[in-house]
């Protein structure tokens, strides 16, 4: 008998009720039905046009939505059947609270894709072959495949001679990472390159090879990719092609062999000058002096600082012509002063790479130079060498200054990576996001956007968090609390330029699997084009650290106004099956 009572108590404590429409949903339904019990097609059309501001509310849009609601109810017997075109309040609520029917973002590519590549932010990975940490994890094609399936468009491979010096391995040099063969990575890239997006994939190569192995790379690349591989007819591009022109194509980006660079840039100089210049390259601007204590840290930092650097210039004197001909985006590190390196050449485009620390230093005095450089050329930012655990940095600093390739450890974790995932949900998740016009504009006297300038508020976003649901399906009933339902609260804020960045939170709702908050927040934005709406749900725990209940980041410029369903993701960025919030977005 005692166990039976315990069972009843347990059931009572973990009871839940189906989510009911919040007051604003009831009010909207009443307003557009003139207080009636059902909503007609015309009334739904008016709601979508006036309240939701949906552009496709006319024509057959409403009929399609009603059919989708009917289909949703048919699939889910718990919702009952809808055999009429009229919608009840419950139908209306289920429609609004369906991610499938009422998502927060436009799902199609809608930006102009015909501008040069330099006009876009590009979803970029760093050390794409690593399965875990930067020092000792396995190298594999699996994280490359996962990145491509997420929509990442830039894959980085570090090429080294194998142990017998007759083939090419991919590994993080001077660390304990185990290698994977280049050919395996290339074949996986070919197979999965366009699984999430038809727009071009760029392979950035860190080249530590001898000329004969470079020739082997050229052979592998051309045989593997065939007509998918794009490379220009001439040695120097005056302007990068567009993502639209490069659809379903694969490009290579790396530092051209030393001999080739010197032949073009120093034709008047003799071999002695060349060798002198090559040795001086080791003192490139901004290079940090390793100060880490252990040998393994020193080795890793050295490997990281060689990102995009040449290995031994003596190996470059007879570089394979086939190899250098295949390089579309010619890369390098700054030589001499960074200010000189950022000068724009009207006759050719190129790419330079900076570590996150070098970028931070450069923004102190060269912010405008960075913006001007990135209007035509490529700028790639990569994580600092001490991020052994594959963590990441604040990507907004690079984006504010026009950097197209803000390279992230996609196998990492944490809030910075959530921002990266969210940023590239824009433009249909195709991996290319058009840079804001203000970063591309040049004034009558050659002036460009100054990231340090104080700006007025351009747009204000109002966000209301109504309710949440789905945890009872995705989590065990004792996951958050062993003895009672969870006490959920939501953190809501903006990640963007410093003036716009802020975090707030709702009240905590006690003992409820379907919490209703009805809390509203107002966010004045000076640069809404680069703002991300941050949303996190946590479960309040009095005695320990609050439990994590889901997160998402959404590009503010792409938010659909009105009442929308917002699906949440786990810590690794994978979408939770059922967890979602009902929210309202309004620009004033």
Q: Are 401 and 372 in contact (CB under 8 A)?
A: no
Cα atoms in the 13 Å half-sphere on the side-chain side of 345: 14
The DSSP H or E segment spanning 416 is: helix 415-423
Tokens 């107002």 belong to residue: 522
Which among 155, 157, 237 is positioned nearest to 202, based on CA atoms? Answer: 155
The reported pLDDT for the residue numbered 257 is 82
Q: Which residue, chain included where needed, has tokens 């035509």?
A: 376
Tokens of 403: 């950097």
Give the Å distances, CA to CA, from 88 to 32, 50, 132, 245, 298.
12, 20, 50, 48, 67
Tokens linked to 460: 């204000």
Nearest Cα neighbor of 131 from 142, 117, 121 is 142
Contacting residues for 116 by C-beta, under 8 A, at least 6 apart: 239, 240, 241, 242, 376
- What's this model's pTM, rounded to 2 decimal places? 0.88
For β-strands 250-254 and 327-332, DSSP reports them as parallel
Inter-helix orientation angle 367-374/356-363, to 10° = 120
Task: Return contacts of 350-354, CB within 8 angstroms, 24+ apart.
Answer: 350/377, 350/378, 351/253, 351/377, 351/378, 351/379, 351/380, 351/405, 352/377, 352/378, 352/379, 352/380, 353/307, 353/308, 353/379, 353/380, 353/381, 353/382, 354/286, 354/379, 354/380, 354/381, 354/382
DSSP single-letter state for residue 401: T
Enumerate residue ranges in the chain where pLDDT < 70.
1-17, 57-60, 73-85, 259-320
- Check if the beta carbon of residue 323 is closer than 8 Å to that of residue 217: yes
Longest CA pairwise span in the chain (Å)? 98
Task: Give the span between the Cα atoms of 88 and 189, in whole angstroms.
Answer: 49
Domains annotated for the chain, with CATH where assigned, are: 13-102 (1.10.238.10), 117-264+296-440 (3.20.20.190), 457-588 (2.60.40.150)
Residue 425's pLDDT is what?
98
Strand, helix or coil at 335?
Answer: coil
Contacts for 506 with CB less than 8 Å, ≥ 6 apart: 465, 489, 490, 492, 517, 519
pLDDT at 182: 98
Q: Which residues are catalytic?
A: 126, 172
Task: Please tell me the distance from the alpha carbon of residue 91 to that of residue 95, in angstroms, as a whole number.
Answer: 6
470 backbone φψ class: left, alpha, beta (φ>0; ψ -120 to 50): left
């Amino acid at each position: 008998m005692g166990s039976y009572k315990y069972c009843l108590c347990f059931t009572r404590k973990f009871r839940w009720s189906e989510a009911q429409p919040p007051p604003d949903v009831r009010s909207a339904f009443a307003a557009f039905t003139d207080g009636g019990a059902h909503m007609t097609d015309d009334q739904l059309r008016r709601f979508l046009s006036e309240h939701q501001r949906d552009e496709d509310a006319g024509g057959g849009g409403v009929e399609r939505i009603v059919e989708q609601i009917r289909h949703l109810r048919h699939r889910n017997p718990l919702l009952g059947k809808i055999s009429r075109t009229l919608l009840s309040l419950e139908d209306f609520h289920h429609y609004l609270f369906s991610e499938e029917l009422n998502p927060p973002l436009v799902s199609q590519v809608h930006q102009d894709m015909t501008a040069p590549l330099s006009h876009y932010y590009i979803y970029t990975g760093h050390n794409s072959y690593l399965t875990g940490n930067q020092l000792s994890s396995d190298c594999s094609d699996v994280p490359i495949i996962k990145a491509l399936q997420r929509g990442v468009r830039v894959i980085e491979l570090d090429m080294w001679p194998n142990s017998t010096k007759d083939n090419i391995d991919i590994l993080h040099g001077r660390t304990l990472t185990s290698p994977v063969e280049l050919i395996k990575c290339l074949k996986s890239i070919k197979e999965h390159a366009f699984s999430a997006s038809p727009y071009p994939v760029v392979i950035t190569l860190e080249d530590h090879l001898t000329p004969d192995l470079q020739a082997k790379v050229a052979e592998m690349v051309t045989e593997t990719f065939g007509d998918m591989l794009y490379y220009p007819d001439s040695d120097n591009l005056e302007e990068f092609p567009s993502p639209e022109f490069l659809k379903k194509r694969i490009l290579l980006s790396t530092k051209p062999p030393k001999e080739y660079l010197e032949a073009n840039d120093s034709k008047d100089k003799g071999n002695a000058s060349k060798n002198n210049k090559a040795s001086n390259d080791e003192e490139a601007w901004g290079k940090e002096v390793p100060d880490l204590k252990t040998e393994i840290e020193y080795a890793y930092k050295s490997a990281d600082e060689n990102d995009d650097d040449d290995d031994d210039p003596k190996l470059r004197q007879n570089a394979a012509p086939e190899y250098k001909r295949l390089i579309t985006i010619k890369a390098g590190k700054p030589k001499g002063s960074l200010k000189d390196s950022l000068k724009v050449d009207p006759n050719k485009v190129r790419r330079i790479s900076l570590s996150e620390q070098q970028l931070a230093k450069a923004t102190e005095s060269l912010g405008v130079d960075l913006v001007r450089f990135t209007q035509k050329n490529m700028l790639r930012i990569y994580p600092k060498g001490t991020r052994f655990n594959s963590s990441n940095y604040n990507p907004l600093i690079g984006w504010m200054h026009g950097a197209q390739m803000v390279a992230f450890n996609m196998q990492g974790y944490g809030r910075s990576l959530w921002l990266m995932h969210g940023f590239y949900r824009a433009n249909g998740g195709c991996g290319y996001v058009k840079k804001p016009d203000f970063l591309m504009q040049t004034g009558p006297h050659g002036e460009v956007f100054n990231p340090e300038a104080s700006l007025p508020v351009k747009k204000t976003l109002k966000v209301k968090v109504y309710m949440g649901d789905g945890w009872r399906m995705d989590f065990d009933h004792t996951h958050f609390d062993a003895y009672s339902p969870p006490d959920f609260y939501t953190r809501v804020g903006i990640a963007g330029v410093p003036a716009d960045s802020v975090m707030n939170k709702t009240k905590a709702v006690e003992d409820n699997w379907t919490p209703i908050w009805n809390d509203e927040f107002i966010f004045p934005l000076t640069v809404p084009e680069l703002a991300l709406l941050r949303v996190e749900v946590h479960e309040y725990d009095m005695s320990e650290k609050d439990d994590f209940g889901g997160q998402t980041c959404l590009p503010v410029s792409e938010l659909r106004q009105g009442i929308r369903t917002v699906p949440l993701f786990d810590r690794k960025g994978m979408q939770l099956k059922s967890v979602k919030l009902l929210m309202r977005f309004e620009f004033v």
